[in-house]
Amino acid sequence: MPESDLSLTVNGAPRAGRVEDRRTLADFLREDCRLTGTHLGCEHGVCGACTVLLDGDAVRSCLMFAVQADGAQVTTVEGLGGAGGELSPVQEAFRAEHGLQCGFCTPGFVVSVTAFLRDHPDPSDAEIRDGLSGNLCRCTGYQGIVAAVKRAAQVES
Amino acid sequence: MTAARFVGQRLPRREDARLLTGSGAYVDDVVRPGMLHAAFVRSDVARGRIVAVDTTAALALPGVVAVLTAADLNGLTHDVWVDYLGPGVDPTPFRVLADGDVRFVGDPIAIVVAESRYLAEDGCALVEVEIEAEQAVVDMDVAVAAGAPLVHPELDSNVAVRVPAADDPELDAIFASAAHVVTETFTQHRHVCSPMETRGLVSEWDPWRGELVVWLSTQGPHGARGFLARALGVPENRVRVIMGDVGGGFGQKMFMVPEELAVVLAGKHLGRPLKWIEDRRENLMAGLHARDDRVTLSVAVDAEGHILGIRGELLENLGSFAAPGSASGMFVGMVMPGPYRIPRFGFSSRSVYTNTCGRGAYRGPWMMETLAREQMMDVVAAAVGLDPLELRRRNVLTAADLPYTTATGLGYEDVTTAETLEQAAAMLGYADLRAEQERARVDGRLLGIGLALYVEPSALSMGSLSSEAARVSVSVNGQVQAVMSSASHGQSVETTVAQVVADELGIDVGDVTVLQGDTAATPYGGGTGGSRSAVQVSGAARDAAQQLRAKMIEIAAEALEAAPGDLEIVDGAVSVAGAPGSSIAVAEIARIAYTQPERLPPGTDMGLEAQARFRPSAPFTWSTSCHACLCEVDPVTGAVEIKRYVVSEDCGVMINPMVVEGQIAGGVVQGIGGMLYEHMAYDADGTPLSTTFVDYLLPTAAEVPTIEYGHIETPASTNPGGYRGMGEGGAIGSPPAVVNAVCDALRVRITEQPLSPAVVAGAIARRNAT
């Protein structure tokens, strides 16, 4: 299988190596970087559990090859909290509003919402629901998640 | 006991910090030295004879370690049965890999083991399978027709389980003389659990210890351990199942499936740790399906709308290799009378095999009884000229009826059926909405109101599910650990059990940790399902904590030279009630218990450890709910918008109302998804058509309403804490509430789902044409 050199920044730390061209960014992050917070729920770009930030944009790491992230800044759910282990405002809001149950989809939601609130600091209800519609959750019925986005928006504003 | 300080609070969950930061430990996060990866070659036809399986090219691929088929693995299995049923009960055949024939699309034929998942999939593509396709039995009616091909040729019928109708001259007489007899047939389409985490396991056989360790995404590690020990012919004390964080189950992960056993057998055979993570296509195609049933109801009603008797007939589709106990006919018939006064009831059912993916449990596996009955209440209301709420009021069980024994022999002592019905109607503003509905109709807007009332048989306590256990200990430094028999896959048990234990011991909830999921460290438990955890797991924790509390008081009494009856535990210290000056800290009591036997009261054993096994005093702990839905249907496109959604629920004493509401909401939205969007469809040849999330449509945040909750807290009599289960109820009540709302908006009864825009628009067009 053809391989390529890869050099990128993951959660602020430089990383270089050689990967198979067909290796997805999600597998690179989970297996090569051992950042297992990025989850794979469908591997066809619908569920959003694998969402990471690529140069600040929320992307689905299952739909990208790792080599496509060459030179990029990647942030995973592990990179969102404070250095001392404290939760980010979005993570804190999910906890306060019971925005998670089994937790499998949660990293994708947290990453998506982080990017969404950066771009929509004062979102309407409709904007929130639209903003969340690219991530699937099977446990919460989205009640706590919608409330968490509202709370996080208030905290951050 | 001390006053509740933590039970009843909306305490944030202790599970959350790790899950929010990507620090959870799900099965795909497990890596073992020398671990190999598995992928399956599956049948792409629904029924046929396997002519040849050629593994030569796959084996030649560098990185592929083995390609194993039925000839390699099926003979390695010994006894295959689950504790839930016991040996020889389940009529459904079980085979590890397809042997000689295939019986559904997705039937596993070979397992490819390789150095990476990529290479395992490459290997699968190189396995050449030749199948001589035969006419598949896809439809239930075809399956039961005379001369139908047998789905399982080794059996003599496609009917797996039959519940015959009993001769009942009294019921016949009721129907013969009733003012109205209303008959309707309701069909529920096939849908699936779709937990966001698919199945998966890592299996490691240690030949030196003679021990098997399996990391498994499961709802029941102890059930899996017993199953694997019997299947492999290995002593149970040489099998360890570890359940880490699990990304949802909803019934699908209650029992192990053939693929999982194949991975365990292959790993042991090869002497290497082996991982398999099911992909989404496999989960949708072959990971167990649910629902897919049809009920015909006939209801005898008097002139005032009082139900006199009901006859029900169920036909349900088990698919091919159904999970153990998936034939639900007996249960459907037993609970169908539900929340109403129904003097006489007759029922029959057939659970039938087809060449489709097997049926498994899904959140309220018997819920067709509520879906059919609650639609039928609206049909009867229309037939006798009553409003649906009024018909329910005339038939609902009230406090004056209790205790009540249903026509099927179930006893209710403390259900709050009338109360939840009235609370839901009041919260929705039912009468005002009826008026608004009429006004809207004048403007061409289609509003609809749907109700659904049910009693949920929670905390299922029978067979291997009869009891749960807890081992609670105070360690030498004074902190508490609760070791639980069954574990959470999203139910928040780490938090709720800590709340219960902290209250019983009079300590801070932060001083309690909850350990679960590892069979090497936990007592036997039936698994998390059947809305059992709040009642059974909490009940066991409560009993064990009470034992410890009594012992702590005893030790403190000796140290303080006080009478045990005068002592209380408050904020981590034992003191004389009303005289807090003289006290002894829990940590000090723990040190005495473990290190200072001379300070123990005479005859008191050392240590602060207690184990309790709790069994509720009845097989069911009834929870009661009423759902009320307001929807608007677009008269042109047929799109359904749910504008309001109300749930009134009585789940007894709430340990954590936030968790209760979270469970309700999750179930409600699964039901909304099931009725409006989700459909596991097959074509006429038995090929599944919705094997991606592009085709199998789960609801998103954009489609769901804000759910409004009403709580009635009637302590249950089946357990000292007064808890009732509510894990499944949301998914039981919401399907009929949604369907009734849509049909009410259209003033047309649609008896099949999903209610897609095309179906709804078609119904509108047909109505307008008549």
The B residues from 547 to 586 touching A (CB cutoff 8 Å) are: none
Q: Are both B559 and B655 inside the same structural domain?
A: no
Q: What is the CATH number of the domain that holds B88?
A: 3.90.1170.50
CB contact, 8 Å: A135 with chain B? Answer: yes
Do residues A80 and A95 lie in contact, with contact meaning Cβ atoms separated by under 8 Å? no
Contact B670 A42 (CB under 8 A): no
Residue of B10, B14, B16, B691 best to disrupt the A interface, most CBs of A under 10 A: B16
Q: Say if CB B93 and CB B321 are below 8 A apart.
A: yes
Peptide bond into B715 cis (omega under 30): no
In this prediction, residue A43 carries a pLDDT of 97
- Among partner residues B198, B246, B659, which is closest to A102 by beta-carbon distance? B246
Q: Which residue has the tokens 């049926």?
A: B359
Q: Flag whether A82 is in a domain.
A: no
Burial (Cβ within 10 Å: 0-12, 13-18, ≥19) of residue B647: buried
CATH number for the domain that contains residue A70: 3.10.20.30
Give the tens place of pLDDT for each residue, B87-123. Answer: 989 889 999 999 999 999 999 999 999 999 999 999 9
User: What's the structural domain count of chain B?
Assistant: 3
CB atoms inside a 10 Å sphere around CB A16:
9
B670 with B363: CB under 8 angstroms? yes
For an interface test with B, give the residue of A138, A140, A145, A146 to mutate (most B CBs within 10 A).
A138
d(CA A18, CA A157): 42
The pLDDT of residue B3 is 62
Residue B1's pLDDT is what? 44
In chain A, what percentage of residues exceed pLDDT 70? Answer: 100
- In contact, B430 and B628? CB cutoff 8 Å: yes
- Residue range A91-114: mean pLDDT, rounded: 98
Query: CB-CB: which of A95, A98, A110 is closest to B662?
Result: A98
Distance CA B631, CA B703 (A): 12
Residue A69, in any domain of the structure: yes
Phi and psi at residue B518, in whole multiples of 5°? -115, 115
Are the beta carbons of B669 and A144 separated by less than 8 Å? Answer: no
Q: Among B755, B732, B759, which Cα is nearest to B641's?
A: B755
If you count them, how many residues does chain B have? 770
A38 touches chain B (CB under 8 A): yes
Task: Say which CATH number the domain at A118 has.
Answer: 1.10.150.120
**Chain B nearest-CA residue for A85:** B21
Nearest CA-CA partner of B107 in B53, B161, B162, B64? B53
B248/A104 CB distance under 8 A: yes
CATH of the domain at B498: 3.30.365.10
Domain hosting residue A131, numbered range: 89-156
Count, residues in chain A: 157
Q: What is the domain count for chain A? A: 2
| Residue B230: domain span | 31-134+196-248+253-286
**Residue B140 belongs to some domain of the structure:** no
Digit-coded pLDDT (tens) for B185-232? 999 999 999 999 999 999 999 999 999 999 999 999 999 999 999 999
Parallel, antiparallel or unpaired: strands A3-10 and A73-75: parallel
Whether the CB of A18 is below 8 Å from some CB of chain B: the reply is no
Residues A72 and A97 in one domain: no
User: In whole angstroms, what is the distance from residue B89 CA to residue B80 CA?
Assistant: 11
Query: Is A39 contained in some domain?
Result: yes
Chain B residues within 8 A of A95 when measuring between CB atoms: 12-13, 16-17, 20
pLDDT: is A156 or B471 the higher one? B471
Q: Measured between CB atoms, does B32 come within 8 Å of chain A?
A: no
- Average pLDDT, whole number, for chain B? 97
B109 Cβ contact list (under 8 Å, min separation 6): B40, B41, B42, B43, B50, B53, B69, B70, B97, B98, B102, B127, B129
Residues (pLDDT < 50) of chain B are: 1
Predicted local confidence at residue B4, as pLDDT? 72
Q: How many CB atoms lie within 10 A of CB B468?
A: 30
Same domain, A60 and A99: no
